[in-house]
Chains A and B, each alone.
Chain A
Amino acid sequence: MARAVTPARTWMMTIAAWSVALLIFFPVLWMILTSFKTEASAVASPPQLFTADWTTANYAEVWARSDYPRFFWNSVVISVGSTLLGLIIAIPAAWSMAFVPGRKTKDLLMWMLSTKMMPAVAVMIPLYLVFQRIGLFDTKTGLVLALMLMNLPIIVWMLYTYFKEIPGEILEAARMDGASLWNEVLYVLTPMAVPGIASTMLLNIILAWNEAFWTITLTTTKAAPLSAFIASFSAPQGLFYAKLSAASTMAILPILILGWFSQKQLVRGLTFGAVK
């Protein structure tokens, strides 16, 4: 702003902004704090923000459950697996659409976007039945496939926008310098594309980890990841509040951390490149 920024104004705005931010963040904070309380103080009334008896016992107990590590591992495998599989398929597609665009390229991209708009419930039934028939129901493989297909449009779009930013002249320079197509890809294109690929990977791991429809619908026990676990234990019978908070905190912590690093990618990826 052109007006002189007085210290008073800065402080006023700072306090206002931080109040709002803390208000928004508060539920997460409350959950994290609760995870370190004893069950008794977790349900104490009036509720205390901080308590005298801090404990990490909740975390140990949740992790010691026979099934929690499995849920965690399932989340890891499914998110990383679907992302890698998606990248393998999407990189060649995005590459060719960015560097050898045809007349139909724009239409193709729009069509891919439209597949994401189709309600999942419309394809749920066939998938549910088919997966059961061919033995993919309640398997990590099945979920990897389903989530990969769900996110493929986003992966292709994100990679496409990143690839488009690589100046074509640099690739031409490589060609003039005598690089074969393979050399061009290996020595010039890939190093310049790595940041974009990493960003895409990051965002998709986040999206897959948090996915709550297919992970609940297509699993029962063996392949269920954390999202299904938390969903079915929401009315805690078997997990009380402090332990539920610990279980939940562990479930979201990896993504919270990844998410803090990936704000820019989030904006680009989820708006299909419309906002950068």
Chain B
Amino acid sequence: MGQITLKQVRKSFGDVHVIPGVDLDINDGEFVVFVGPSGCGKSTLLRLIAGLEDTTSGTIDIDGKDATNLPPARRGLAMVFQSYALYPHMTVRKNIAFPLKMAGMSQAEQDQRVERAAKVLNLGSYLDRRPGQLSGGQRQRVAIGRAIVREPAAFLFDEPLSNLDAALRVGMRQEISELHQSLKTTMIYVTHDQVEAMTMADKIVVLNAGRIEQVGAPLELYNKPKNLFVAGFIGSPKMNFVTGPEAAKHGAHTIGVRPEHITVGDGPWEGVVGLSEHLGSDSFIKVDVPGIGVINIRAPGELGVHHGHTVRLSPGHRIHRFDEKGLAL
């Protein structure tokens, strides 16, 4: 259950080739995250898998069967929308039961499944309310509940946490991860937030302008980015990129060092501190190094360095090298 394969999937809207061609394997039970900047086609890809859009060419297999021309209802997938898309005129109970009703399930069976989903998601006390009376987090749980009751082959999440405030987001992120652990169903999750991607995914698919830049486990992408784009996208704050003679010293067109891999104190680079932010747990400073550029540094704990200080930096040994085409060396 939940094995999905995309072969040469293309999607164009008229002359706009949103997805020029994607090949992807998603294994049963995996938590796959599609991540990338706005407009990279990740939502489009999700919708193609869901069946809400037709492919321009290419095939989509679900559990070995060709699902390319199947309507959404027959693909055995469930989707949680960014806006939750709850039915405003139905109670929570009826919302969750709706897919079961569409499947022609008996009322008794419907009630049973709804109760189970409500228990898993802590919705017991809201069952008879309408979506308009619920908070954002509660609505999201209802949306997830509606997806769970179908016992689908895979769950599709379209940026589900974007409409929640920061604190709620962290909590829900963990709940979704826990859900995955208990259900063990394939989950395909779309987000533009690389923190969500890194924390939740078994496998991350980084997309850019409709193309897959890299597929791999979170730490693999962190440690071995295949190109400039992935290197700059994964990790916050962004990796520092340096071109010119400094890069040539390492035999590359561009080198990259992550802010957390630079040590402050002693080293070949020297510059004046511009901005400095002290959070107690970390310190973020911006140093203008002549001939190199503006370098971002993340240091653990409290760093007694402030605006105007002169510091020495060492890029350490975790230096990523890229050629003039942006590919990793």
Residue A107 at the chain B interface, CB threshold 8 Å: no
Contacts of B78 in A (CB 8 A): 176
Q: How far is the CB of A225 from chain B (nearest CB, A)?
A: 37
**Residues in B whose Cβ lies below 8 Å from that of A179:** 73, 98, 102
Q: Is B77's CB under 8 angstroms from A177's CB?
A: no
Pair A187/B85 contact, Cβ less than 8 Å: no
The residue on B at minimum CB distance from A191 is: B89
Check A188–B81 contact: CB distance below 8 A: no
Contact of B83 among A167, A174, A180, A191 (CB under 8 A): A167
**Does A253 belong to the interface (CB within 8 Å)?**
no
Is B321 on the interface with A (CB-CB < 8 A)?
no
Report the separation of the CA atoms of residues A266 and B191 in the bound assembly, to the nearest whole angstrom. Answer: 42
Instruction: Identify A187's interface contact among B52, B72, B73, B98, CB under 8 A.
Output: B98
Closest chain-B Cβ to A183's Cβ sits at a distance in Å of 6
Q: For residue B79, which residue of chain A has the nearest CB?
A: A176
In the bound complex, do residue A175 and residue B83 qualify as a contact, i.e. CB atoms below 8 Å apart? no
Encode A179-213 as 1/0 by CB contact (under 8 A) with B.
11001000110011000000000000000000000
Which residues 66-110 of B have a CB within 8 angstroms of A? Answer: 71-73, 77-79, 81-83, 85-89, 98-99, 102-103
Interface residues on B, range: 20 to 34
A67: B residues at CB distance < 8 A: none
Whether B79 and A173, one on each chain, are in contact in the complex, defined by CB atoms closer than 8 angstroms, is yes
Q: In the complex, what residue of chain B is closest to A168 when comparing beta carbons? A: B85
Partner of A174, one of B50, B51, B98: B98
Q: Does B258 contact A (CB under 8 A)?
A: no
Contact A192 B146, CB 8 Å, known A175-B72, A177-B102, A178-B73? no
Instruction: Report B117 CB to chain A, min CB distance, Å.
Output: 14
A174 to B146, CA, bound (A): 11
Residues of chain B within 8 A (CB-CB) of A172 are 52, 72, 79, 81, 85
A176 touches B88 (CB 8 A): no
Which residue on A lies nearest to B75, using beta carbons? A176
Check if A175 sits within 8 Å of B85, measured CB to CB.
no
What is the bound-complex CA distance between A236 and B318, given in angstroms? 100
Asked if A169 is at the interface of the complex by the 8 Å CB criterion, the answer is yes
Interface string of A35-60 (1 = CB under 8 A from B): 00000000000000000000000000
- A169 with B81, Cβ < 8 A, contacts A177-B102, A187-B98, A192-B88 known: yes
CA distance A36 to B78 in the complex (A): 67
Give A167 to B150 CA distance when docked, in angstroms. 23
A175 touches B87 (CB 8 A): no
Q: Which residue of A lies closest to B101 (CB)?
A: A187
Q: Is the CB of B52 within 8 A of A175?
A: yes
Cβ of A176 and Cβ of B83 under 8 Å apart?
no
- Report whether A176 and B87 are in contact in the complex, using a CB–CB cutoff of 8 Å: no
A130 at interface by CB-CB < 8 Å:
no
Contact present for B81 and A177 (CB under 8 Å):
no
Once bound together, how far apart are the Cα atoms of A176 and B88, in whole Å?
A: 17
- Contact indicator A177/B89 (Cβ below 8 Å): no
Any chain B CB within 8 A of the CB of A170? yes
Interface size class of A (residues with CB under 8 A): 10 to 19
Chain A neighbourhood of B87, CB < 8 A = 170, 173-174, 188, 192
The docked-state distance in angstroms from the alpha carbon of A170 to that of B98 is 12
Residue of B nearest to A173 (CB): B85
Closest to B78 in A: A176
Separation of A175 and B72 alpha carbons in the complex (Å): 6
Nearest B residue to A195 via CB reads B89
- State whether B71 touches A170 (Cβ < 8 A): no
Scoring B residues 245 to 258 as 1 if CB is less than 8 Å from chain A, else 0, what string do you get? 00000000000000
A180 to B83: give the CA distance in the assembly, Å.
22
Q: Which residues of A contact B73 (CB under 8 A)?
A: 175-180
Contact: B52 with A178, CB < 8 Å?
A: no
**Distance between Cα atoms of A173 and B73 in the complex (Å):** 10
Q: Is the CB of A176 within 8 A of B77?
A: yes
Max chain B C-beta neighbours (<10 A), residue from A176, A179, A187:
A176
Docked Cα-Cα span, A172 to B52, in Å, equals: 7
CB-nearest residue of chain B relative to A166? B88
Judge whether A175 and B71 touch: CB under 8 Å. Answer: yes
Bound Cα distance A169, B88 (Å): 12
The 8 Å CB contact of B99, one of A169, A178, A188, A191, is A178
A176 lies within 8 A of B52 (CB): yes
With a cutoff of 8 Å between Cβ atoms, the chain B residues found around residue A170 in the complex are 85-88
> Which parts of B189-240 form the interface with A (CB within 8 Å)?
none
* Cα-based distance from A77 to B73 in the complex (angstroms): 44
Q: Which residues on B sit within 8 Å (CB–CB) of A191?
A: 89
A177-B71 contact, Cβ under 8 Å, with A188-B87, A192-B89: no
Given contacts A175-B72, A176-B72, contact A183 B85 (CB under 8 A): no
Could you write out 10 A-B pairs with CB less than 8 Å apart? Answer: A169-B83, A170-B86, A172-B72, A175-B72, A176-B51, A176-B73, A176-B77, A178-B102, A178-B150, A192-B89
Known: A169-B85, A174-B98, A176-B99; 17 extra A-B contacts, CB below 8 A, are: A167-B85, A169-B82, A170-B85, A170-B87, A172-B52, A172-B79, A173-B79, A174-B87, A175-B72, A176-B51, A177-B146, A178-B102, A179-B98, A179-B102, A183-B102, A187-B98, A192-B88
| Across the A-B interface, the 4 shortest Cβ-Cβ residue pairs | A177-B99, A178-B102, A173-B85, A178-B73
